[in-house]
Amino acid sequence: MNPPKKRTKQAAKKTMIANKPRASKQKQSGKVKELYDQTIFRDWCKACGICSAFCPKKVIGRDNAGGPVVERPDDCIGCRFCEIHCPDFAITIVERNVEPGRNKA
């Protein structure tokens, strides 16, 4: 079995461009809510605070050391501002699969 491929910043940039998130849709009280997951790669993050400061929905807060903390993941609107502006490609936004193979519009 091959060891898992090491994530590189170049690969991350390609993935970021190719994987514009497509929203999962979850019906909630008659409305369709799009859901996204936020992944932070701690090894690359330098705790600059850009993602937290500019998230329009205040999804990302900061811990005592200044590092980003996903506090309200369900409020994410998938705008990708954090992903695009992170200087170290340390955060990615992807569609959340609520139930794989189901609930697809």
C-alpha angle 6-94-20 in degrees, rounded to nearest 5: 95
Q: What are the CA-CA distances from residue 82 to residues 16, 27, 29, 31, 53 (Å)?
A: 11, 26, 29, 26, 9
Looking at 12, 24, 91, 96, which residue binds ligand SF4 (CB under 6 A)? 91
From the list 6-14, 22-30, 72-80, 97-105, the region that binds ligand SF4 by CB under 6 A is 72-80
| Residue of 48, 94, 95, 103 that binds ligand SF4 (CB under 6 A) | 48
Between 27 and 66, name the residue whose CB sits nearer to ligand SF4.
66
Residue 74, helix vs strand vs coil: helix
Nearer to ligand SF4 by Cβ, of 33 and 80: the residue is 80
Cα(26)–Cα(43) distance, integer angstroms: 32
> Under a CB-based contact definition with an 8 Å cutoff, are residues 13 and 89 in contact?
yes
**Identified binder of ligand SF4 from the candidate list 37, 79, 95, 103, rule CB under 6 A:** 79
Q: Which residues bind ligand SF4 (CB under 6 A)?
A: 38, 40, 45-51, 55-57, 59-60, 68, 76-82, 86, 88, 90-91, 93
